[in-house]
Amino acid sequence: MSDQQKERLLRIGVPSKGRLAEVSSQLLNEAGLPFRRNERSLFVRCREMPIEVVFLRTEDIPVLTAEGAIDLGITGADLVAECGMPLIHRLDLGIGSCRLALCIADDSAVSDPRHLAGKRIATSFPRITRRWLTDRGVEAHLVELSGSVEIMIQLGVADAVVDLVETGSTLAANRLRVIAEIGRYETVLVQNEQVADGALADRIVRRLEGIVIARSYSLLEYNIPRGRLAEAEAVTPGFHSPTVSSLEDPNWCAVRAMVRRGEAHGIMERLEAIGASAIVETSISNCRL
């Protein structure tokens, strides 16, 4: 760790532009780390804690974290994997999920990656791509680019591309199709291996974790006849066990448990089918497990 690293505030690198910029700022805000960005400055001091937010290119965040210019960084796991430098993975942020895929033109006869031996493949992920091809014994010429990979077959410089796919609309617009999935990634928080203030970094991670978990869970509350409680608890086991409270009517009780947000509708239907009533789903804004 450099002397400079020891003396300065803890630094968090966040994407300065692109789709991750806004969601990262929002996440830090919700985690009680508010800051007001000044367009002219790349640094901003967080009002609540001794930390500094640094706005950087998403692609540069892995290397700048590994080099110690920043202590924590929000970036894509795809970029971390491509960077290949030693970093501590602290948290999956539950956003920006995408896959890296080997794609060819819709009307191409290629159906297997092995058909690409000796061909040209355009990508912004040369390291991941090279490793993946080598593992399969395929030797191809890589055309390394920093963007707009999706048009390279049309431009005539590649026979296939390795690109990120999120919604699939870029593939459709450029008449491409996936022949193999290389990896799945999401937005992550990474840390330098020698952070000066590890306790502060841990606090930040716990705060962000509270928001990430809160976003993927809901709180379900319902009333259930005592005789059906065991069945209901099997449907909503909660993390450790659900909270069960007595009601004025001794034949009924109230249950409270966290459930995965995406599963809430199905769970409510199952609870209703076993006799639950007054089933209420509430959003959670923050939590510590």
Closest CB to ligand PRP among 147 and 156?
147
Closest CB to ligand PRP among 145 and 213?
145
165 binds ligand PRP, rule: CB under 6 A: yes
Least distance to ligand PRP from the beta carbon of 188, Å?
17
Applying CB under 6 A, the span of 77-85, 166-174, 177-185, 186-194 interacting with ligand PRP comes to 166-174
Residue from 2, 4, 41, 148 touching ligand PRP (CB under 6 A): that is: 148
Nearest CA among 202, 197, 199 for reference residue 90: 202
Closest CB to ligand PRP among 149 and 258?
149
147 binds ligand PRP, rule: CB under 6 A: yes
Applying CB under 6 A, the span of 159-167, 231-239, 250-258, 270-278 interacting with ligand PRP comes to 159-167
78 binds ligand PRP, rule: CB under 6 A: no
Q: How far is residue 211's CA from residue 261's CA, in Å, rounded to a whole number?
A: 14
Task: Give, to the nearest 10 degrees, the angle between helix 19-30 and helix 198-216.
Answer: 100
156 binds ligand PRP, rule: CB under 6 A: no
163 binds ligand PRP, rule: CB under 6 A: yes
Least distance to ligand PRP from the beta carbon of 165, Å?
5
Least distance to ligand PRP from the beta carbon of 98, Å?
7
* Sheet with strand 176-185: strands edge to edge: 141-144, 120-123, 160-165, 98-105, 176-185
Least distance to ligand PRP from the beta carbon of 4, Å?
33
Q: Please state, as a whole number, how many other Cβ atoms lie within 10 Å of the Cβ of residue 160.
A: 26
Instruction: Kindly identify the residues of this chain, within the stretch 226-285, that bind ligand PRP according to CB under 6 A.
Output: none
59 binds ligand PRP, rule: CB under 6 A: no
Closest CB to ligand PRP among 71 and 163?
163
Residue 165, C-beta contacts closer than 8 angstroms, at least 6 positions apart: 98, 99, 100, 101, 103, 171, 178
Q: Which amino acid appears at position 157 of this protein?
A: V
Residue 272, C-beta contacts closer than 8 angstroms, at least 6 positions apart: 279
Residues 150/110, Cβ–Cβ less than 8 Å:
no
Residue 262: φ, ψ to 5°: -65, -15
Least distance to ligand PRP from the beta carbon of 164, Å?
4
Long-range contacts of 62-65 (CB under 8 A, 24+ apart): 62/87, 62/190, 64/13, 65/13, 65/190, 65/191, 65/192
Closest CB to ligand PRP among 106 and 166?
166
Q: CA 232 from chain center: how many Å?
A: 32
* Residues forming beta bridges with residue 190, ordered by sequence position: 73, 89
Q: Which residue is nearest to ligand PRP (CB)?
A: 147
52 binds ligand PRP, rule: CB under 6 A: no
167 binds ligand PRP, rule: CB under 6 A: yes
Nearest CA among 283, 288, 285, 284 for reference residue 203: 288
Residues near ligand PRP, by CB under 6 A = 147-150, 163-170
